[in-house]
Every structure is written in structure tokens, then in C-alpha cells.
Structure 1
Amino acid sequence: MSSDTYKTDALIAEDIEAYLDKHQHKTMLRFITCGSVDDGKSTLIGRLLYDSKMIFEDQLAALESDSKRVGTQGQDIDFALLVDGLAAEREQGITIDVAYRFFATESRKFIVADCPGHEQYTRNMVTGASTADLACILIDARKGVLVQTKRHSFLCHQLGIKNLVLAVNKMDLIDYDQEKYDAIIADYEEFAKSIGIESFTAIPISGLAGDNITTKSENTAWYDGPTLMEHLEAVEVRSDANLDKPFSMPVQWVNRPNLDFRGFSGLISTGSVKPGDLVRSLPSGKTSTVKSVVTMEGELEQGVAGQSVTITLEDEIDCSRGDVLAAADNPPEVADQFESTIVWMDEDPLVVGRAYWMKIGTQTVSVTVAEPKYEINVNTMQHLAAKTLELNAIGVSEITTDKQIVFEAYADNRALGGFILIDKITNRTVGAGMLHFSLRRAQNVHWQATDITRDDHAAMKNQRPRVLWFTGLSGSGKSTIANEVEKKLALMNRHTFLLDGDNVRHGLNKDLGFTESDRIENIRRIGEVAKLMTDAGLIVLTAFISPFRADRQLVRDMMGEGEFIEIHVDTPLEVAEARDVKGLYKKAREGKLKNFTGIDSPYEEPEDPEIRVNTVAMSPEEAADYVISKILPLK
């Protein structure tokens, strides 16, 4: 090999290394395209991929073949096919799922999400918008501002997207008419102001023809602004804006590969951190000094927003997954009651008072949602009265978590202000939301410590406090068996109290009816009372239909390990109805009694109760003896 050849290879290797280093350190912009159906979102993204040379030759050949098969609007290539990957999308000519695509230019890397325009798939649009720095809202120049344009704009604003581009597409189909373009901009500007959008960048484009996408179009000589690509390359990304905020990092994982190393790993959401900084672990409030900031490449002089790092501390403080490390002198708040905006994303409506899982940052807690203060009409911005939230509805409601969480207002910190709601039974994601502020009563109400503890109360009674939760259909024999069990426990000198469903509705819960939400609130209150009674050292017996698994689980979660004993009084519907001591089934069958469990309201049987009694095979006394045998010993 000659020296000239060696030099040439070395220069090539050096050029490659410089090229890779340059691309590695490019900033990343995440953005979405959204708007109404057929506004040209997929076509625009396809054009961006094509013009930025991000399509391989085999992909281009397949695209040209597919374009000929489906037919195009006088073009050789249907750019939308680059993004519409689902068979159903190609068949219907619409976007259903969120499609993510990557491309890059000389100055920046991009991840773009093509969001569906149909109202039916608004929940998918929220998913794409939740991580975006910019939203490109498309408008069909022939149609102007539509309902879904307003819906998506409102959601983008609520989700904290500061950078908005109004791309008036299909300008070629209105002969690049400036007057029509200006009218659309004026119409949108009026709407934008009404919802609090302070600024946006308007660009006339044609995704199909390529006007003002990557190069200035001669067809719009009257437009003197940037092309879409020029704007995307120049706009500030959120990670840059987050650098000026106080340090915060939700802890994703406690990294302990050996006894000599203990670090806290996570993605820095705001600010920066370096060795020597004083940080606070929340919610405990313990402070320590940063010893090192570590990545796979080694120790850093400083970690900044957007970086995934492991932080080691000088002191051994209590900090685990779900906690938050933050600047000691400017930490986030800690609370358990909030006002929030919720976007409901499930076919089944919100059940007020039901416990859902809430995931916020790396924290997972149980949460209940109060009746909405109002639902927002995205067309008029009116506040509408609402008892619940249906699919795609947007409402403002107060929420309560079962323990304090670390948070910031969503407008200030997405990582600590944005959350999702998960159904505890089906594990479906049912909603997404943004926290606005904590409720003052959450900050002003504190737990009062007492000297006589729960264990002291139990020791004085020489028993272990427990809740014997009898559940079953009306007429199954819950109250009868619970009464027998209490009599037998009394003969054993045990301290008990029986909470019966009908008796409680004469006092504590006399304001509640029998709708699904009222039943949930009925059980929640009973759970709180039962918890207080176990704190007093009592063995509490409850006899309630309690038809929903999620609500029985809510009460179980209030108790200590092994203190909640679920007893399914397993009686077939036909047997319970034949007994019908109170005549309730007859009234329900005649339509005189609404929301009756087993008839027009469901009963969700326990899947794995601690005790199951069959009242067809057992007498009440035999069932009581069986229950007693299962809960022994009592201490």
C-alpha cells in the first residue's frame, strides 16, 4: 500500500469520524402534524422524508409501485403511503394510528408523529402530542378552519406546546390565492386568541407539489416568510428552554451493581446538576450533596435537561423509584389533591369516585376523580355541565391521590405535571391529564400524630384488627352470616363492630342513591370508617353488596397486609331472587327499582377471595363456623 493511498484512507476515516461526531451532537426536534381528516398530514411528512433524502432506493421503488396501484393525483408518487403503514389506513385513505418517522438535515435531527384527524382517534393524537416540541397544524385551503382543527389546536395548547405552525396546505388547489389564504389566517387567529394561543407561524404550502416545504415557491411570491423546513431547523426545542429551570429528575431506578456503588438513575427533566450541588429527595425532604454524575461513557462535569444519568450522593439517604431528586433550595411541591384537565380516552365513560391507577413521571399511585367541574366545548370554548366524561371529552376536575406525590404544574414541567389514568381491572389506559395546581386544603391539612398508636389499641384488646368484608348479591345472606360471626366472636371475648349496608344508609350515607357513582362513594366512605375502626383495634365486619372489584380493591389498599379478608357469599342469582325477603328483585323486574345489582346493574364476583361460602350447601351457622375457622388465630 502506497503512502498516498494510506493518507487518502486516513483522511476518509477522519472525515467519517467528523461527520458522525457532527450528527451525534445535533439537536433533536420532536413535532407532530395534526388537523382534520384529509388535510394532507401524511402527504406532508412523506414529502419531508423524500426531500431530505431519507428514503432508500428499495423503499422508493416500492413506493412508486404502490402509488401506481392505488392511483395518485397526477403525481408519480403518493407521499402519504410512506407513513400510512396500516392496511386499514391504506384501504380507507386515512390515518388511524400515530406513525412516527425519523429524518435529519445538515443542522438538526427530527422525529415527526403523524396524528390521526378523525375525532374517533383523538386519543391517539394526544399520545403523539404529549412529547412534542412543536405542532404543525394543517388546514385544507379549500375548507378553512374546521371543528377538528380547533380541537387539535386546543389540545396542543393544553398539552403545553408553545411552537405552533399553521400550515395552509393544498394551496395549488386554490390557485395560490393570497386573499383566501389571508382570510383563513384571520379566522384562525381569532380562534387562537380565544383559547390563549399568543403566537403561531403561518406558512402557505402544498405537500403534494412541494411549495414552501424545503424551497421557496415562485407560486407564492407574495409570501416572504421561511419555508417549513427552515422554520423547523431554527425553532427552539424544549430541552433548551428547560435548561434555565431548577434541577429536577424523577428516579427511574436505584442502580446498585455492587456494595461499593449506589446511584439514582433517571432522565433529567429540568435544569442541570453537577458534583457539589445540594439536592433534595422528595417526598421525604432529605438532603445530600451530589458526589458524581455518571453515564455509560463515564463521569460528567455536569448533567443537563434531556440527559439520562446516574447520580451518586455523599450520604446514604432514603430514595427509591418514584421519588424525585431536585434542587434543594427550589424543589417541586408535594401534595395529594389537585385541579386537573383530563382528556378521556376510553369507550367506557369516567366513573366518578372509582379508583384508577395514576402514572406521573416514575410515580404510580391510586387516584379518584371527582365529578367534573365542567366539560369544555372545543368549538365554542363554553364550559358545559357534566356528570362524567365520555370518549374524547375534555373536562376540568379535582383529583385525589392515596398518598402525596411530587409534582409541578404541567405548564412548568411536563414530566412532573402530566399523567395517565389506567383502569385497575382491565389495565387499559383510559385518560390523560395535566395538573394545574394543588388544592389549598391539601397543603393546610396535616396528619396529627398521637401518642397511643394503632398497635397499642390492638394490644389492649388482645387481638389483631381486621376487616371481614362480606360481599354478594342482595339476598345471598351476607348480613345474616356476618351477624352469626359477630355473635361467635363476642363469645370469644373479641371486640367487634358490624357495619351493615342498610343501617349505614340510614345515617352516614343517607344522601347517596344507587347509581354507579353513588355505590362507589358508599363503599369509599365505609372503607374509611372501617379503617378508623381497625386503628382503634377492632375486628370490623361489613355486609355490603359492593358490586365492583375496583372498589373492594380500594378498601383493601387502605388496610395493612393481611388485614382485609374478602368473604364471597356465593349464592346463584336465581336462589337469591327466590328468597327475595325484601321484595326488591320483584320491583327491579317490574322496572320500579333502577340500578339493582344482578338485574340492570352488574355484580363483579371476587376472582380470588380469602374465603368463599356457599349458602346453598351451608346453613348460616355452618357458614359462620367456617369463616371463624379460616380467620384463626385472632392474635
Structure 2
Amino acid sequence: MAARSEDPVYKTDALIAEDIDAYLEQHQHKSMLRFITCGSVDDGKSTLIGRLLYDSKMIFEDQLAALEADSKRVGTQGQNIDFALLVDGLAAEREQGITIDVAYRFFSTEKRKFIVADTPGHEQYTRNMVTGASTADLAVILIDARKGVLVQTRRHSYLAHLIGIRNIVLAVNKMDLVDYSRERFDEIVADYRAFAESIGIEGFVPIPISGLAGDNIATKSQTTPWYEGPTLIDHLETVEVDLADTREKPFRMAVQWVNRPNLDFRGFSGQIAAGTVRPGDQVRVLPSGKVSRIERIVTFSGDLDKAVAGQSVTLTFSDEIDCSRGDVIAAAEDPPQAADQFEATLVWMAEEALVPGRSYWLKLGTRTVSATVQPPKYQVNVNSMDRLAAKTLDLNAIGVAEIHTDRDMVFEPYKADGEAAPNTALGGFILIDKMSNGTVAAGMLNFALRRSQNVHRQALAIDKPTRSALKNQTPKVLWFTGLSGAGKSTVANLVEQRLVRMNRHTFLLDGDNIRHGLNKDLGFEESDRIENIRRVGEVAKLMADAGLIVLTAFISPFRAERDMVRAMLDEGEFVEVFVDTPLEVAEERDVKGLYKKAREGKLKNFTGIDSPYEPPEDPDIRIDTTELSPEEAADMIVAKLIP
């Protein structure tokens, strides 16, 4: 062994191992910067990222060989390598020469590690840009020097600022195509500065570059002797991204998981969103408001004496208090707010437009609640910054609207007064379609509505069980749904008669009758139909609280609204009765002549003709009126309701 230790080759291997260990140690402690590239289509975003990967030597030899082959195949002219192909991974992207999806790439320099998101430039993919920007610390706004500031440049800049990105780089690209003109560069910077100031961007760093030629990317270019600022990589390596402001805020942690491996341990796991916590600190669990003290800060590596923003930990309390997923653990002396009505800014991301009044899932932090969006107060024209009147929001639209949730949410304004960094953890949310489970919007909470703070529920001495006991019955809401002419009202009327003969206390809410009074101000547009059902649901809930068996006969064409009413009521209280009648059979009956008018175009938005009906997927009771008479159907419903 002694002889081998003196072997020069053996020593070289040891030195190499030491160098690798030293490199890995240095790399592990580098700071991380997340940034996005955005701007209009063909401004050179993918090419720029490819150049950054190439200049930082993050491309292996086999990748480089494949890249050169792909560049020849797609017919790249005037260069050996098409750097955009490093990032454009989808076949459609390579065929069209555009970015569609968000592409994330990692690279590193001696000073810092980077994760960069290449976001699409086309307007139809703006939602993908929002996804990439949601976790970014810096935005590189690219501008084609030939085209100048475009609508999509303004849109992406507005969104980056709206989301709270404080560090903006204005990369004026393709300077080689304008002969590295200082006058053209200054003109573009002046135009962008005027727009930036109008939307509240306080500062940005302009850099003249050529992603293709590599000018001012990693090294200073001799072609722009008039430019005295940093190269792009120099700026990315040195820009300050400090978590100190987050750590100096009051303590906040949303509970992601209740950790209960055995009867002797109960902890609450999550990532600290803001502030610092130590054993012995007094904390408050929201929205319940219960107070306790931190007993331990548990991690996989052992207990900690202190934990700060960004760390994932498990906290244990000195007291046994109720705390579950979605709750927020906060500094007891400075807790966040809780409310159920807000003003919010929405970026609509779905092909299907916003339906005011429809119930969506709202996910904020680790809590998911049911929420409805009111008609927008206004929509923002990102080109002129004008506030436009709007009844809904279409794909990529940005607007401000009120949001109502079915329970209190713990929140903080996304952009609080006097704070530079946004409160993403408790101020940013997404809306999810209840039927498709697709994300339809990203949102930022502005503030709680005053009425949500000033209007409180009054505790009543007489409750639902007391009223139900007086009537000797269990409250129910029998929700009859089906096409017009299916026989809903007929069957519901027969069911009520049978229940009354059994000394049950009932009330029948019929769709036509309600529209003569409570809902006579509503039409038959989709949003009006939703509001019609919401109001009826609220009335049915009040009647069920009174201990009644409520019967409702409404087309109620949308599953989301029927589910909304089900969510208003106690478990098992909502009974969905699907009066299943084929369209052709209902149309043959046409007692009121409505189908004929709809077919002639005299009656718009008629369910089954030019407005959809979404049949229940798993109704509590299904009635096939082609097989059962109304009397037989009524008998079957009563038998299932009261065995």
C-alpha cells in the first residue's frame, strides 16, 4: 500500500477526487436565480437561452453533435448551430420555429446557479407565460431591434409586473440586423421606459445583445463600443435576490400535512412562507384563532433551534389544539386576515370564458374552497392601460372582479402597501373548473371587502334539529332536474301530495312560479341561469333549516350549479332526482309550445335546442318516464325517501 501511495497515477486520481469534492461543495452553496425570457414571437427567446447554455458550457459533446445535425436538417442559414433547438423540445415547436410550451433549463456559472423558463411569445399561449413567471425572480424582456416595442412586449411586461417580478432586464436583441445602431437602441429604450413608468415599473436594465452572434451575452462586444453596462451573464450573476425581506416578515406557514406516525407524535408539516420561528414562540392557528406555543421544530436531520422562510419543517405544539391541512400557523401577535369576500385581479387562462356566478374551486396555498366570481368590474387593455367594461373574461384577458368563497380564507394582499415582494403564499391563487379539473385562471387577492368584515352571523337559540324534532321529520331537499317537458313538476307535485297525506311538512319550489316573483329580474343567459339556481338553492337551504322537506322542480341544466346547491346543505340532505326523458319524447309532449318556438328561432337559449343540458352522472334517484307513469314514479320516490 505504501508503494502504491507513491505512484504518480494514484496521486493524480486522489487529486482529481479532491478537486471534484471541492467543486461539488462550492456548487452546492451557490445562490440560485430563477428567471424567465419573454416578449413577442420571434424576438429570439429560445436562441438566447441556447446561447446561455452554450456559453456556460452546459452542452455535452453528443448533444452538440446532435444539435449541429438538427440545425442542418431544419435548414439553418448563416450559422452552424441553431441555438433555439436546444430549448424547443416539442415537434410542433421545431416544425413551426416557435415556442408553445414552457421549457425549463438549468445552467451554472462560477458564481451562481440558474433555472430559466423559456415562455411562449404568441398571444394564445400567454397563460403558459404566466405559469413560467409565477416562480421567477427576474424577467428578461426581449425586443427585436427591428420591430421595437410590440403589443405582446407590453402584455408580458404588464404580467411580469402584476405577478410581482421586481428585476427587469430589457434585452434589445438582433442588434446585428440594425448594424448595432446606438440611435435605434436608445429609441427602443425610451419607448419602453415610457410604457414601463405608466404601469409602475420603477426601473430596468437595458442591454443591447445578439443571441445569434453572442454579443454582450457572456463577454463585452467590440461591435457596441458605446455600451458601457454589464453583459447579460454579468448582470444575472450579480443581481440581488435577497430573502431577508421575507424572513423579516411575521411568521407564516400553511399546513400541508398533519404528521401522525404514532400515538405519541402529532406534528404539522409545511414550508415556511415568511418569518422566523423558534421553540417557545407563541403562534395562532387560523382561521380558528386557537393559540399555542411551538414545542419542537422537527426535520429529517434532527430538531432545529430556529427555522426561517423557505425551509420545510414539522412543528409540534405544547397544547393539543385543532389544526388540519389548509390551516395557517402564524405569529400570535401579528396574524393575517380571514374573510370570505375579496376583490381580486384575474388572468383568465381557459378557452371557455368566465361564467359569472358559476362555482369554481379556489386553491390558495394548501386550502381549497368553493368560490364564485361576480361580473368583472373592468378589464385591462394592456396596450393602452385603459379600463374597459366587461361582462366576462375571455382567454388571456386580465380583469378585476369580486370573489365570494363558501368559507373564510386566511389571506394577505398579494401586494401589500410598503412591501416590495409579493405575498405569493397567501395572496396568489388559482381557479379550477369543477367539472374538468382544469386550471382556468390565476389570481391575486387585492383586499377583503368591507362587508365581509362587518357582516357577522347571528347565533340563534332555536336550531335545525329543534325545528326538525317539532315536525318529527328529517329535512331534505328533493332536487328534480331534467329537460323541459320531462315531467318534473308533475312528479314533484304528486310526491308532495303523498308526503302531506303522511303528515310530512313540505314546500314545493317550482321553476316557473319562482320566475314570477323572486327571480323575475333574471333572463335565460348562462349567467342568469346560474344566478337563478343559486337563489333557489339559498331559499331551499333556509327552508331545510326550518325543518321542511323541500321539493324543487327546475331544469337546472349545469352539473356545477347542482353541485353548488348540494355543497350548501348538510351531508345527505340533498337528493338529486333525475327525471330522465329523451329529448324527442319531451319535444313531442311540448305542452307549453316552447320547443316549437325554439326550433323556429323565436326562443333563444332554450335547453336542449341551443343551450346544453348536462345530465347527472350519478343521481340519487333516476326516473325513466318512458317506463313509469307519473304516479308510479312518485310512489318509487316516496318509498326511497321514507322506507
TM-score range, shorter chain: over 0.9
Of 201, 206, 230, the match for 1:202 = 206
TM-superposed CA distance for 1:579, in Å, is: 1.4
Tell me which residue corresponds to 1:261: 265
TM-superposed CA distance for 1:10, in Å, is: 6.1
Per-residue CA shift, 1:42-96, capped at 9, x if unaligned? 0111111111111112111111111122233422211111100001000000000
TM-superposed CA distance for 1:286, in Å, is: 1.1
Tell me which residue corresponds to 1:536: 546
Q: Which amino acid aligns with 1:548?
A: F
Per-residue CA shift, 1:584-617, capped at 9, x if unaligned? 1111111111111111111111111010112222
Note closer, same or farther for the CA distance 1:193–1:299 as it changes in structure 2 (3 Å cut).
same
Matched, 1:115 2:119: yes
Of 502, 517, 520, the match for 2:512 = 502
Matched, 1:434 2:438: no
Of 221, 240, 250, the match for 1:217 = 221
Q: Distance in 2 between matches of 1:449 and 1:392?
A: 44
Tell me which residue corresponds to 2:418: none
Q: Distance in 2 between matches of 1:277 and 1:213?
A: 48
TM-superposed CA distance for 1:28, in Å, is: 1.3
Q: Which amino acid aligns with 1:78?
A: D
Q: Which amino acid aligns with 2:464?
A: R
Of 125, 130, 137, the match for 2:129 = 125
CA RMSD of aligned residues (A): 1.4
Q: Distance in 2 between matches of 1:392 and 1:63?
A: 34
Per-residue CA shift, 1:278-302, capped at 9, x if unaligned? 1111111112111222222222222
- Alignment partner of 2:223: what SS? helix
Tell me which residue corresponds to 2:301: 297
TM-superposed CA distance for 1:580, in Å, is: 1.3
TM-superposed CA distance for 1:11, in Å, is: 5.7
Q: Distance in 1 between matches of 2:147 and 2:244?
A: 36
Tell me which residue corresponds to 2:522: 512
Q: Distance in 2 between matches of 1:317 and 1:25?
A: 39
Tell me which residue corresponds to 2:408: 404
TM-superposed CA distance for 1:491, in Å, is: 0.8
1:133–1:238 contact (8 Å) kept in structure 2: no
Q: Which amino acid aligns with 2:544?
A: T
Matched, 1:448 2:452: no
Note closer, same or farther for the CA distance 1:192–1:550 as it changes in structure 2 (3 Å cut).
same
Tell me which residue corresponds to 2:585: 575
Note closer, same or farther for the CA distance 1:630–1:256 as it changes in structure 2 (3 Å cut).
same
Aligned length: 633
1:47–1:208 contact (8 Å) kept in structure 2: yes
Per-residue CA shift, 1:218-241, capped at 9, x if unaligned? 211211111111111122226343
Per-residue CA shift, 1:403-446, capped at 9, x if unaligned? 11111111241011111111111111111111111101011111
Q: Distance in 2 between matches of 1:627 and 1:495?
A: 16
Tell me which residue corresponds to 1:621: 631
Tell me which residue corresponds to 2:189: 185
1:482–1:498 contact (8 Å) kept in structure 2: yes
Q: Distance in 2 between matches of 1:46 and 1:278?
A: 50
1:49–1:55 contact (8 Å) kept in structure 2: yes
Tell me which residue corresponds to 1:100: 104
Matched, 1:459 2:469: yes
Per-residue CA shift, 1:504-544, capped at 9, x if unaligned? 11111111001110000000000011111111111110000
Per-residue CA shift, 1:450-483, capped at 9, x if unaligned? 1111111111111111100000111111111111
Of 312, 327, 333, the match for 2:316 = 312
Q: How does 1:19-38 map to 2 (within 5 A)?
A: 19-38=23-42
Tell me which residue corresponds to 1:584: 594
Tell me which residue corresponds to 2:289: 285
Of 145, 151, 171, the match for 1:147 = 151
- Alignment partner of 1:299: what SS? coil
1:251–1:322 contact (8 Å) kept in structure 2: yes
Q: Distance in 1 between matches of 2:227 and 2:604?
A: 64
- Alignment partner of 2:192: what SS? helix
Q: Distance in 2 between matches of 1:172 and 1:295?
A: 53
TM-superposed CA distance for 1:254, in Å, is: 1.1
Kindly, what percent of the aligned residue pairs are identical?
75
Give the gaps of 5 or more residues in structure 1.
none
- Alignment partner of 2:618: what SS? coil
Note closer, same or farther for the CA distance 1:327–1:197 as it changes in structure 2 (3 Å cut).
same
Tell me which residue corresponds to 2:250: 246
Q: Distance in 2 between matches of 1:27 and 1:252?
A: 26
Matched, 1:472 2:482: yes
Q: Which amino acid aligns with 2:615?
A: E
What TM-score, normalized by structure 2, do the two folds share?
Answer: 0.96
Note closer, same or farther for the CA distance 1:105–1:241 as it changes in structure 2 (3 Å cut).
farther
Tell me which residue corresponds to 1:66: 70
Q: Distance in 2 between matches of 1:4 and 1:588?
A: 97
Per-residue CA shift, 1:606-632, capped at 9, x if unaligned? 111010112222222111101001112
What TM-score, normalized by structure 1, do the two folds share?
Answer: 0.97
TM-superposed CA distance for 1:402, in Å, is: 0.9
Question: Which sits farther off after the overlay, 294-303 or 196-205?
Answer: 294-303
